[in-house]
Amino acid sequence: MVVEKISQRDKKSAVILTTHSMEEAEALATKLGIMVRGGKFRCFGTSQHVKSKFGVGYELEIKVKKAPFRELQELSDDLGLGTDLQKKVVLTAAVRGCAEAGFDGAILDQVRPDGIGGDLTLEAGLDPAGEVRTLNLVTFLYAQRLGFKVINFLLGIFSQVEMLE
């Protein structure tokens, strides 16, 4: 009731509330806004306007934990790249070797300039021999493998999953 009194006082007041609950926002407000990434407005308007624009699905932001160094060494060794993560490998040959070792082809296919692994191709492009640090390649593969596990889990729940970035 305090919020209602303040918002109605002389019709010159505005009350700004923040919440993660659409139901709570609808119960307390006449106008809603969606903010992302530290306060950037993506949408502002009535409840119906916000729902029609953003009410068609869910958006998840997933952060993969940093890989323990030992696990990166083990993955590198399993892929035939050795355990010295400071050495460099020729990117194209290393990706080919990872495929031969049975690593997920859908992930390896992303190691291209316009793919998720674009940073690796950029690093290789800056090197005269087309090499990248083994640590960078294995860290990418480790993180993507965990990410693809999440995507596959979500595909078991939802009929469609889209990766935005």
Averaged pLDDT in 10-residue chunks for the chain of 165 residues: 69 76 81 80 83 74 86 96 95 96 94 93 94 96 91 87 72
Is 46 part of any domain?
Answer: yes
Q: Are residues 83 and 30 in the same domain?
A: no
Buried b (16+ CB within 10 A) or exposed e, 115-148: ebbeebbebbeeeeebbbbbbbbbbbbbbbeebe
pLDDT score of 124: 94
Is 164 part of any domain?
Answer: no
- How many domains is the chain partitioned into structurally? 2
pLDDT score of 132: 96
pLDDT score of 127: 92
| DSSP-assigned letters across all residues of 12-48 | --------S-HHHHHHH-SSEEEEETTTEEEEEE-HH
pLDDT score of 162: 77
Q: Are residues 84 and 135 in the same domain?
A: yes
Q: Which domain holds residue 42?
A: 2-54
Partnered with residue 40 across adjacent β-strands are: 36
Is 162 part of any domain?
Answer: no
Residue where the block lists tokens 């809603």: 32
Neighbours of 154 (CB within 10 A): 15
What are 2's two structure tokens?
Answer: 């305090």
pLDDT score of 10: 64
**In this predicted model, what pLDDT tens digit does every residue of 79-117 receive, in sequence order?**
999 999 999 999 999 999 999 999 999 999 999 999 989
pLDDT score of 52: 79
pLDDT score of 164: 67
pLDDT score of 54: 74
Q: Are residues 80 and 153 in the same domain?
A: yes
Is 163 part of any domain?
Answer: no
